[in-house]
Amino acid sequence: MTDVVPNTDGDTGLRSPRLIARVGMLLGLCITVCFATGLLSHWIQHPPGWFYWPSRPAWLYQVTQGLHVITGVTAIPLLLIKLQLVYPRLFVRPLVGSPARAVERGSIAVLVSSTIFQLLTGLLNTAQWYPWKFFFTTTHYAMSFVVVASVLVHIAVKLPIIQRALRSPLEATDAIDNRSEPAATDNPASPLRAQDGVSRRTVFRGTIAVGALAALAFAGQTVPFLRWMAFLAPRSGEGPQGVPINRTAAAAGVLETANDPDYRLTISSGTVTKELAIDQLQAMPQHGSELPIACVEGWSAQGKWDGVRVRDLVALVDGNRDHDVRFISLEAGLYSVSTLPPNISDDPLSLIALRLHGEPLSIDHGYPCRLIAPNRPGVLQTKWVTRIEIL
């Protein structure tokens, strides 16, 4: 006995391996880019000991995280189209059968469920909506390896079919040897049949168009001249002083402490400590940096920041410029502390910013002062800084 179910639809329908393989190739490309840029984002926020991230070009994280969200969003319609093309094959008999088929069935179950989970939770994260109890960042990171592993297993099992399908013209009608792929029998009246007037090429072009539309619906969060087209993007590019925010001072619980007239910025290196009031910070040499706030949710906005260079503040306490520098916020919580590695803290673009677009920082942008550094996620651009420690 064999697991094989004859493919009575041959290779004439829209559910042809030729079309499925090409849609899968687009989906695989999106998943690959999304996975690679997601790893970068995670390592920047939670750097392993071996990890190095440059300070220049200052816009690099803006690009990689924008690509992460855009390719993740694009993958959603591609996945739905691929599932529509293959779903009859998911339920053919036998459901398990031989050991090889059991591996193939299991890989598909894990692949479909993990990919849906990853794309759905990632999409909700762009809107900062978390209707679950698990911590998104670590769960999303761990699940990405499950998705990639299941994709690799799936490709390994289906590689002969994929190779033959991609080598064959999209509209060819000769049957592809599909002995390792049990196929469902399509109803002759099914709308997914090429002879009903819709060609595979039309469906494939439509798939590309839908994916491109999904990308454009979000790309404006990162690409300014596309902002007018970003009709599904949670961030419009508008906000206090022309830059959006994720967390207000009220939400952070710092309205009183940030406006305290006795506020002091404390800088320490070992036993040496110095405290500076706002007017003392303003009296120091001021420098400007044009840097984006680039957030993990995929949006970014350029700002013209003015303030005191981090390396000048480090020098006030004779701090070693080869050491990490820690920034502590008035806010309590998960991201109330961030650390700059030496290559970024010593970069002349890294500032303790006092002004944005020529105006004093608004309270929601981090008044009395905030960190702004090149090539960093917005979540690590600490607002309402109260203490700097040279480690």
Q: Using a CB cutoff of 8 Å and minimum separation of 24, what contacts does 364-367 make?
A: 364/240, 364/245, 364/248, 364/249, 365/240, 365/241, 365/243, 365/245, 367/249, 367/258, 367/259
- Whole-prediction pTM: 0.88
Looking at residue 145, what is its pLDDT? 97
Looking at residue 173, what is its pLDDT? 66
Looking at residue 180, what is its pLDDT? 45
Looking at residue 176, what is its pLDDT? 54
Alpha carbon distance 326, 337 (integer Å): 7
- Which backbone phi and psi does 74 adopt, to 5 degrees? -60, -35
Q: pLDDT by residue (tens digit) across 12-23?
A: 588 889 999 999
Determine whether 12 is exposed, middle or buried from the number of CB atoms within 10 Å of its CB (0-12, 13-18, 19+): middle
Contact 123, 72 (CB under 8 A): yes
Structure tokens at 354: 């006092």
Q: pLDDT by residue (tens digit) across 366-381?
A: 999 999 999 999 999 9
Looking at residue 232, what is its pLDDT? 82
Looking at residue 172, what is its pLDDT? 72
Looking at residue 96, what is its pLDDT? 72
| Rounded (5°) CA angle 145-235-52 | 45
**CATH code at 249-390:** 3.90.420.10
Contact 18, 168 (CB under 8 A): yes
Structure tokens at 122: 């990632």
Asked if 17-229 and 249-390 have one fold, the answer is no
DSSP state of 241: G
- How far is C-alpha 108 from the chain's CA centre? 24
Range 17-229 classified under CATH 1.20.950: yes
Contact 328, 390 (CB under 8 A): no
Alpha carbon distance 83, 94 (integer Å): 20
Alpha carbon distance 388, 373 (integer Å): 14
- Each residue's pLDDT expressed in tens, for the chain with a length of 391 residues: 334 433 434 445 888 899 999 999 999 999 999 999 999 999 999 999 999 999 999 999 999 999 999 999 999 999 999 999 988 777 777 777 777 777 777 888 899 999 999 999 999 999 889 999 999 999 999 999 999 999 998 898 889 999 999 999 988 765 554 444 444 444 444 444 444 567 899 999 999 999 999 999 999 888 888 888 888 887 766 789 989 998 999 999 999 999 999 999 999 998 999 999 999 999 999 999 999 999 999 899 999 999 999 999 999 998 778 999 999 999 988 889 999 999 999 999 999 999 999 999 999 999 999 999 999 999 999 999 999 999 9
Contact 1, 101 (CB under 8 A): no
Domain ranges of the chain: 17-229, 249-390
